[in-house]
C-alpha cells in the first residue's frame, strides 16, 4: 500500500504486518491511497534487479504498478526519475493518471506542465517524456536519472533507442537505486528484441544474470547486470475482471492471435524477420571495437544513394577467415538536411580509411548508371578522385545467393562462434540486420521497401570474395594468377 502521510515506501501486506508500530500508526487504513492488488504487482514492486519487465495481457495492472514504483524514493531530494512512452499522445493518458495518484500520495507535489515535471516536497523530481526519434533522445542525453520507467516497451522498434536512454541512468547517491522498469503487451514492432532481452534469457519471476567482461588497461574485469521479467494477465487484476466482465468478453472475442496476446499475455513466435540468426546470436556477433592488425586483409563494400541512404562498410578478415565489419560510414539519411554528393562521399570514404591499405572496394552496380548525356556516373565521379570501386555482382539469383552467404557467416551453435563479427560502432548495419523483414511474396529475399542499404553494402562485399576462398590460401593466388591481371572483367583494379 502507499501511505498518504509518509509515502516513502510501498508496503506489501506482509511488509506492513512486520513494520514497526510507529509506521503502522502513521499509515492508517483511511490513509491508504494505493495497494498492490495482485501477487505479480507485489513481485514487480519488490524486485531489486536493475532491469525489470512487467509483461502481460491487457489490463493486468502493469502501468499502475509502473507509476507507483518511483514514489517510494520521492522523500529523497536527489531522486530524478523519468517515465517514458514512445509518443506524446500516449504519454498524456499516463500523465493524467500520475497527477491524480502523485497529488494524493504527496499533497505538496507541484506539476510543471511545460517541463512535464513533478517536483515533490523533498525536491525529488519525476519527469514525463516521449522518445520517438534521435532528436527526442537528445533531450535526455547528458542528464542523470536514477530511475527510468518505460511504458509499453515493445512500441520501441529499436533496442538501441532504449540502450541509449539507459546510458543516462546512474546514481552517486548510494541510497537511491539504479532501476529500469518497463511494462509491455506481448505485441508491437519491438516485440522481437524485448523477447530476446528478457523472455529468452530465463523464466518468469527468476533472476537473470548477465556477465560482461571488459579489458581495462590490459586487465580483464567482469561486470554483472541483473534482469527479471514477469508474466501477467487481466485475471491477476481481480477488481477489473469483477467490475468489467464485458471488457474480458471483448478480449475473448478477438481473433486467435490477438486473443492469445491480449487476454492471455502470450508472446507469439516471431515471424517475418529476415535475420533471426543475427537476432538470436547478437551477443556473439556484436563486439566492442579493437585495433585491426595491419596484416589482416581489408576490403570495403558500399551502396550508393543520394535521395536514399548511402552506406560504406569496411571488412577485415582474420587468418582463420572470420570477417570483422569494423567501420561504417552512413550518410544521406532521409531526414538528413545536409546531403552528401558522390564526390563528397568518395572523399569521406578515403578520409575514413586514411593510410590504411584496403585491397579493393565493391559498389552497387547502379552507381555506374549515366546521369544525362555528359555527366559522369556517381561511380565515375568517385573513381576519378581516387576512390576506386568494382561493381557488385548483380547477376540473376545473386540476391538470394548473397542472402544465403550472409546466413552462412552468421551461423553458430551453442559452442561455436559465428564467422562474422560486427563492431558495435556500426549502428546502421546492426539496426538493419535486427529489423529487416522477409519479402511477403518471396521469403528467399528481404523486403526491399525497408532501409536495406547497410545490408546491401554487406552482401556486395562478402559476395566479392571468391567462393573457393580458404583462410590459408594466400590472397593473391585466388584473386588472379598474376598480380597485375584485372580481378574483374568489367573494371580492372
Ligand X SMILES: Nc1ncnc2c1ncn2[C@@H]1O[C@H](COP(=O)(O)OP(=O)(O)OP(=O)(O)O)[C@@H](O)[C@H]1O
Q: Is 233 a residue that touches ligand X (CB under 6 A)?
A: no
Of the candidate spans 29-37, 127-135, 196-204, 372-380, the one that interacts with ligand X by CB under 6 A turns out to be 29-37
Q: Which stretch binds ligand X (CB under 6 A): 18-26, 55-63, 332-340, 417-425?
A: 55-63
Which of 12, 55, 63, 155 lies at the binding interface for ligand X (CB under 6 A)? 63
> Minimum CB separation from Mg ion for residue 313, in Å?
40
Nearest to residue 168, comparing CAs of 130, 200, 137? Answer: 137
- According to the binding rule CB under 5 A, does residue 185 interact with Mg ion? no
End-to-end CA separation in angstroms for the chain: 73
> Per rule CB under 6 A, is residue 61 in the interface with ligand X?
yes
Sole binder of ligand X in the list 155, 185, 388, 464 (CB under 6 A)? 185
| 63/381 with CB nearer ligand X | 63
Residue nearest to Mg ion (CB): 63
Q: Which residue from 84, 98, 240, 263 is in contact with ligand X, where contact means CB under 6 A?
A: 240
Query: What secondary structure letter does DSSP report for 112?
Result: E
Among 8, 23, 37, 398, binds ligand X (CB under 6 A): 37
d(C-alpha 380, C-alpha 356), whole Å = 22
The rounded distance, in Å, linking the Cα atoms of 324 and 318 is 8
| Interface size with Mg ion, residues (CB under 5 A) | 2
- Quick check: 231 binds ligand X (CB under 6 A)? no
Per-position b or e across 107-129, b if 16+ CB within 10 A of its CB:
eebeeeeeebbbbbebebbbbbb
Q: Which are the contacts of 317, defined by CB distance < 8 A and separation ≥ 6?
A: 296, 297, 298, 323, 324, 471
User: Total residues at the site for ligand X (CB under 6 A)?
Assistant: 17
237 DSSP 8-state letter: -
Please report whether residue 192 would count as binding ligand X according to CB under 6 A: no
Cβ atoms of residues 1 and 19 within 8 Å: no
Contact between 299 and ligand X per CB under 6 A: no
Q: Which one of residues 27, 64, 165, 279 is an interface residue with ligand X (CB under 6 A)?
A: 64
CA angle 290, 296, 301 (to 5 degrees): 85
DSSP at 155: G
Secondary structure letter of residue 234 according to DSSP = G
Rounded to an integer, what distance in angstroms lies between the CA atom of residue 121 and that of residue 75? 8
Is the CB of 62 or the CB of 298 nearer to ligand X?
Answer: 62
Q: How far is the CB of 382 from ligand X (least distance, A)?
A: 51
- Which residue of 3, 4, 36, 361 would you call a contact of ligand X, by CB under 6 A? 36
Candidate segments 59-67, 124-132, 235-243, 451-459, binder of Mg ion by CB under 5 A = 59-67
For 88, left (φ over 0), alpha (ψ -120 to 50), or beta? alpha
By C-beta, is 186 or 301 nearer to ligand X?
186
Q: Which is nearer to ligand X, 61 or 149 (CB)?
A: 61
Q: Which span (57-65, 336-344, 359-367, 437-445) binds ligand X, by CB under 6 A?
A: 57-65
Least distance (Å) between residue 95 CB and Mg ion: 13
* 150, three cell numbers: 518505460
Question: Least distance to ligand X from the beta carbon of 39, Å?
Answer: 12
Minimum distance from residue 54 beta carbon to ligand X (Å): 8
DSSP summary character for residue 26: H
Q: By CB under 5 A, which span of 57-65, 82-90, 233-241, 281-289 interacts with Mg ion?
A: 57-65
Of 100 and 173, CB closest to ligand X: 100
Of 257, 325, 341, which is closest to residue 292 (Cα–Cα)? 325
Percentages helix, strand, coil for the chain (3-state, rounded to 5) are: 35, 25, 40
DSSP label at 139? T
DSSP string covering 329-370, please?
A: EEE--TT-SS---HHHHHHHHHHHHTT----EEEE-GGGG--
- Residues 12, 55, 60, 63: which binds Mg ion (CB under 5 A)? 63
Secondary structure (3-state) at 77: coil
Pick the closer one to ligand X by CB: 96 or 123: 96
Partner that binds at residue 36, options Mg ion, ligand X, none, CB closer than 5 to 8 Å by kind = ligand X
Verify binding: residue 72, ligand X, rule CB under 6 A. Answer: no
- Which residue from 297, 317, 314 is spatially nearest to 348, judged by alpha carbons? 314
Cell of 321: 577467415
User: Taking CB within 5 to 8 Å according to partner kind, which of Mg ion, ligand X, none is near residue 431?
Assistant: none
Which span sits near Mg ion by CB under 5 A: 60-68, 158-166, 439-447, 481-489?
A: 60-68
Q: Let me know: does 389 contact 379? Beta carbons within 8 Å.
A: yes
Interface with ligand X (CB under 6 A): 34, 36-37, 41, 56, 58-64, 183, 185, 237, 239-240
Residues near Mg ion (CB under 5 A) are: 62-63
Amino acid at each position: 500500500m502507499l501511505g498518504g502521510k509518509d509515502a516513502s515506501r510501498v508496503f506489501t501486506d506482509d511488509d506492513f504486518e512486520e513494520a514497526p508500530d510507529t509506521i503502522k500508526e502513521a499509515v492508517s487504513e483511511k490513509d491508504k491511497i494505493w495497494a498492490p492488488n495482485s501477487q505479480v504487482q507485489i513481485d514487480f514492486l519488490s524486485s531489486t534487479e536493475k532491469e525489470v519487465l512487467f509483461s502481460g495481457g491487457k489490463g493486468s495492472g502493469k502501468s499502475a504498478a509502473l507509476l507507483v514504483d518511483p514514489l517510494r524514493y520521492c522523500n529523497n531530494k536527489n531522486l530524478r526519475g523519468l517515465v517514458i512512452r514512445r509518443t506524446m499522445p500516449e504519454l498524456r493518458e499516463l500523465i493524467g493518471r500520475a497527477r491524480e495518484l502523485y497529488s494524493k500520495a504527496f499533497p505538496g507535489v507541484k506539476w510543471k506542465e511545460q517541463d512535464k515535471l513533478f517536483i515533490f516536497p523533498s525536491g525529488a523530481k519525476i519527469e514525463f517524456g516521449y522518445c520517438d526519434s534521435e532528436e527526442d533522445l537528445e533531450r535526455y542525453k547528458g542528464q542523470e536519472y536514477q530511475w527510468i520507467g518505460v511504458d509499453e516497451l515493445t512500441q520501441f522498434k529499436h533496442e538501441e533507442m532504449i540502450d541509449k536512454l539507459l546510458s543516462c541512468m546512474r546514481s552517486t547517491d548510494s541510497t537511491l537505486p539504479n532501476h529500469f522498469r518497463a511494462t509491455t503487451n506481448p505485441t508491437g514492432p519491438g516485440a522481437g528484441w524485448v523477447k530476446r532481452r528478457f523472455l529468452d534469457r530465463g523464466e518468469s519471476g527468476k533472476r537473470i544474470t548477465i556477465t560482461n567482461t571488459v579489458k581495462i588497461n590490459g586487465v580483464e574485469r567482469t561486470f554483472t547486470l541483473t534482469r527479471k521479467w514477469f508474466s501477467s494477465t487481466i485475471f491477476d487484476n481481480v477488481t477489473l475482471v469483477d467490475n468489467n466482465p464485458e471488457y474480458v468478453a471483448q478480449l475473448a472475442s478477438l481473433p486467435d492471435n490477438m486473443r492469445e496476446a491480449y487476454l492471455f499475455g502470450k508472446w507469439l513466435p516471431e515471424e517475418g524477420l529476415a535475420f533471426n540468426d543475427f537476432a538470436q546470436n547478437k551477443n556473439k556477433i556484436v563486439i566492442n571495437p579493437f585495433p585491426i592488425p595491419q596484416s589482416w586483409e581489408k576490403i570495403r563494400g558500399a551502396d550508393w544513394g543520394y535521395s536514399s541512404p548511402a552506406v560504406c562498410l569496411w571488412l577485415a578478415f582474420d587468418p582463420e577467415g572470420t570477417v570483422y565489419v569494423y567501420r561504417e560510414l552512413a550518410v544521406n539519411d532521409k531526414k538528413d538536411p545536409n546531403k552528401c554528393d558522390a564526390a563528397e562521399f568518395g572523399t569521406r570514404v578515403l578520409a575514413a580509411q586514411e593510410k590504411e591499405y584496403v585491397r579493393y572496394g565493391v559498389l552497387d552496380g547502379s552507381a555506374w548508371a549515366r546521369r544525362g548525356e555528359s555527366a559522369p556516373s556517381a561511380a565515375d565521379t568517385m573513381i576519378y578522385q581516387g576512390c576506386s570501386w568494382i561493381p557488385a555482382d548483380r547477376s540473376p539469383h545473386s540476391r538470394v545467393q548473397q542472402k544465403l552467404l550472409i546466413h552462412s557467416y552468421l551461423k553458430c551453435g551453442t559452442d561455436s562462434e559465428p564467422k562474422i563479427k560486427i563492431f558495435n560502432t556500426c549502428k546502421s548495419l546492426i539496426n538493419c540486420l535486427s529489423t529487416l523483414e522477409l519479402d511477403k511474396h518471396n521469403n528467399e529475399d528481404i523486403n526491399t521497401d525497408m532501409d536495406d542499404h547497410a545490408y546491401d553494402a554487406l552482401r556486395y562485399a562478402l559476395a566479392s570474395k571468391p567462393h573457393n576462398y580458404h583462410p590459408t590460401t594466400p590472397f593473391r593466388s585466388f584473386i588472379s594468377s598474376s598480380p597485375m591481371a584485372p580481378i574483374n572483367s568489367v573494371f580492372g583494379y
